[in-house]
Amino acid sequence: MLDSRLRPIIDPPLDALGARLARIGLTANQVTLAGGAVGIAAGVAIGYQHYLIGLALLLFSRLFDGLDGAIARATRQTDFGGYLDIVSDFAFYIAVPIGFGFAASANLPFALILVGSFTLTGISFLAYAVMAAKQGRETEAHGKKSFFYNSGLAEGTETITAFVLMCLMPQYFTIIAAIYSAMCVVTVFQRTLAAKADFS
């Protein structure tokens, strides 16, 4: 919901830093893989109840996630890079709830529900992108991407906000997870209605 509004603010500094990193030889795919690894490490730290370490790691992971696209724009965007990016993103999205599930047994049912909701939103996101590609549709509302990005209530900005709140207030994980899972379900319905309108 907020991603497209934040793009004009965050893209210019990311693009400037990405261009500098490209000049010293870093590739977008290297940064993508590093971001995915750091994101998974955030989940591990959270699983051991090191919530502030997990918070720092997840923020670094998202910085890498922004920089990989900036480096690609400064050099060359590839379909494989787009593939790596989405796989890395969802590895991160799954790692954090799993971490909370390991951190406290009471968290486990809500962690599973959250992972399930991420699975549904991911499926709806990618299925819409496939149908949009078949029709040759494009959008740059979320920046120049390898495939079509369909907006919804629960996007990257909202996910990171929820994760930050979970790390700062782990005692409220179950409440935050339940609310955000509901937002993900609403997003799936939004995309389904959009798909019916666009692809029927």
How many distinct structural domains can be found in the chain? Answer: 1
Residue 141 sits at φ, ψ, to 5 deg, of -65, -25
Paired residues of 143 in beta bridges:
141
Question: Would you write out the chain's pLDDT as a tens digit for each of its 200 residues?
Answer: 555 666 767 778 888 888 899 899 899 999 999 999 999 999 999 999 999 999 999 999 999 999 998 999 998 889 899 899 999 999 999 999 999 999 999 999 999 999 999 999 999 999 988 888 888 776 554 445 555 666 778 788 899 999 999 999 999 999 999 999 999 999 999 999 988 988 88
pLDDT at residue 4, rounded to an integer: 63
Range of the domain at 57: 3-199
DSSP state of 144: S
Residue 100 amino acid letter: F
Tokens of 111: 């962690």
pLDDT at residue 135, rounded to an integer: 80
Paired residues of 141 in beta bridges:
143
- The predicted model scores a pTM of 0.86
Closest CA relative to residue 150, chosen from 114, 194, 120, 84: 194
pLDDT at residue 57, rounded to an integer: 98
Judge contact between 92 and 42, C-beta under 8 A: yes
pLDDT at residue 142, rounded to an integer: 44
Residue 27 sits at φ, ψ, to 5 deg, of -105, 160
Give me the CATH number covering residue 39: 1.20.120.1760
pLDDT at residue 148, rounded to an integer: 60
Judge contact between 103 and 80, C-beta under 8 A: no
Residue 49 amino acid letter: Q
